[in-house]
């Protein structure tokens, strides 16, 4: 575009130069367009034909280029208008999705109703609870205790390609915690989780882990929740003794060893509601829409990277801190790695699909970590707001 603008200006300059040159040359040669009495149209016509044929050609070419440039600019503006109409509609739908969120949660004998962004805040808090509970259960530093060798190799390849120095045990714990919060531990949710992780994680580990997390009831079940709190307060060795006894008798709860009172206090023969009911119907649509919005922006062919970043920044401003925190853990889990850790394979001509880093989508997270999950470990190139204030 800039080249064509320079070419059009150059043609005008050349035309003016030729016109000035021949007018000057005609004067030197003693040529006169008219005398004091009348104009010699035969002579002036020949001179005009010459000037029009030579100079006019340059002006005509310049005009053609300018018309073409104007057409290109108008086309670009039309495309931008079409893009903005779609992009701002996506933002509107995002706001609408958030405004429709609702979550009734039992806290002891009372029930609290959360709406809009409060729902996402509560979901993130549940993730942190689950993450801490899994870490409490998982005290080994041996990768094979958690992860099957083939999947451990794949995680290391992901680390290498993403150029991050993450601990694959922590990645596994984040993945398991997010899936439990996402799908829940109803019979259906448990089967989905097991189907997703059966080839990834050590079967003995995750079966017992899920059983342990399933022991946690909703807070409305006061007696059972108190037992869960006592279990969680035990040291690691004592906690696993109780879990092992309960797990061994899971098919016949009446055979639980009476020598361990806490194990019998759970009354496993009684039905109860699990604490983690799942948020797939809330988070599934939320993350799909957010991902497709940024994918649409990133793949748009008529925007520069700077323009894309400005539009992405505008969208990011809609995300609360808790939403950015949820996006972080979602993108580390196997359900959301396409955000960055396993981006879609595109031709070399396409721009980066590492969406979180490119658009600084977790820029506003406070401090350096969330319950020990350090942001910079996974996304070292994000320009964090906390770094700017130091």
Distance of alpha carbon 332 from alpha carbon 351, whole angstroms: 22
Q: What is the pLDDT of residue 266?
A: 86
DSSP state, residue 102: E
What digits encode the pLDDT tens for the residues 288-322?
999 999 999 999 888 999 999 999 999 999 999 99
Rg (CA), the chain: 34
pLDDT at 278 over 70: yes
What digits encode the pLDDT tens for the residues 15-49?
566 656 655 655 545 555 544 445 554 555 555 55
- What is the H or E stretch that residue 110 is in? strand 110-115
**Structure confidence at residue 70 as a pLDDT band (50, 70, 90):** low
Closest CA to 289 of 114, 89, 16, 2: 89
Interior/surface letters 284-321, b for 16+ CB within 10 angstroms, e for the rest: eebbeebbebbeebbebeebeeeebbebbeebbeebbe
What digits encode the pLDDT tens for the residues 213-238?
999 999 888 899 999 999 999 988 88
What is the pLDDT averaged over residues 319-347? 90
For residue 366, is it left (φ>0), alpha (ψ between -120 and 50) or beta? beta
Q: What is the pLDDT of residue 179?
A: 97
What digits encode the pLDDT tens for the residues 156-176?
999 998 889 899 999 999 999
What is the pLDDT averaged over residues 83-93? 94
Task: Taking the CA atoms of 337, 341, 347 and 353 in sequence, report the sign of the dihedral they define.
Answer: positive
What is the pLDDT averaged over residues 117-145? 93
> Quick one: what percent of the chain has pLDDT higher than 90?
53
Q: What is the distance between the terminal CA atoms of the chain, rounded to a whole angstrom?
A: 42
Distance of alpha carbon 224 from alpha carbon 215, whole angstroms: 9
Query: Which of 5-14, 134-143, 316-325 has the highest average model confidence (pLDDT)?
Result: 316-325
**Structure confidence at residue 349 as a pLDDT band (50, 70, 90):** very low
* DSSP per-residue letters across 15-37: HHHHHHHHHHHHHHTT--SB-SS
What digits encode the pLDDT tens for the residues 243-270?
888 888 888 877 776 777 788 888 888 8
Say if pTM beats, i.e. exceeds, 0.85: no
Q: What is the pLDDT of residue 153?
A: 95
């Amino acid at each position: 575009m800039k080249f064509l603008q320079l070419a059009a200006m150059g043609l005008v300059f050349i035309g003016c130069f030729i016109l000035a040159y021949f007018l000057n040359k005609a004067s030197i040669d003693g040529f006169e367009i008219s005398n004091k009495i009348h104009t010699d149209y035969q002579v002036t016509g020949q001179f005009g034909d010459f000037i029009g044929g030579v100079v006019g050609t340059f002006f005509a070419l310049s005009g053609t280029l300018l018309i073409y440039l104007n057409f290109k600019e108008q086309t670009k503006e039309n495309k931008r208008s079409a893009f903005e109409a779609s992009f701002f509609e996506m933002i509107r739908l995002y706001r609408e999705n958030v405004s429709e969120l609702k979550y009734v949660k039992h806290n002891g004998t009372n029930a609290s109703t959360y709406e809009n962004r409060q729902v996402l805040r509560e979901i993130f808090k549940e993730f942190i609870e689950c993450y801490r509970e899994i870490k409490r259960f998982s005290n080994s530093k041996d990768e094979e205790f958690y992860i099957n060798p083939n999947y451990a190799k794949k995680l290391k390849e992901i680390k290498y390609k993403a150029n991050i120095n993450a601990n694959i045990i922590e990645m596994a714990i984040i993945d398991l915690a997010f899936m439990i919060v996402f799908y829940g531990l109803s019979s259906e949710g448990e089967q989905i989780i097991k189907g997703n992780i059966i080839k990834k994680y050590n079967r003995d580990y995750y079966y017992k882990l899920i059983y342990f997390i399933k022991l946690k009831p909703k807070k409305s079940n006061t007696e059972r929740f108190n037992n869960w709190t006592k279990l969680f307060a035990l040291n690691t060795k004592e906690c696993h003794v109780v879990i092992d006894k309960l797990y061994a008798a899971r098919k016949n709860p009446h055979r639980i060893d009476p020598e361990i009172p806490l194990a019998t206090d759970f009354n496993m023969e009684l039905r109860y509601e699990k604490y983690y009911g799942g948020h797939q119907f809330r988070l599934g649509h939320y993350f799909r829409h957010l991902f497709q919005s940024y994918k649409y922006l990133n793949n748009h062919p008529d925007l520069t990277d700077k323009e894309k970043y400005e539009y992405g920044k505008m969208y990011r401003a809609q995300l609360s801190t808790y939403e950015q925190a949820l996006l972080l853990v979602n993108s580390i889990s196997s359900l959301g790695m396409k955000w960055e850790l396993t981006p879609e394979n595109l031709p070399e001509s396409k721009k980066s699909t590492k969406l979180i880093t490119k658009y600084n989508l977790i820029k506003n997270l406070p401090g350096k970590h969330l319950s020990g999950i350090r942001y910079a470990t996974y996304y070292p190139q994000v320009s964090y707001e906390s770094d700017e204030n130091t």
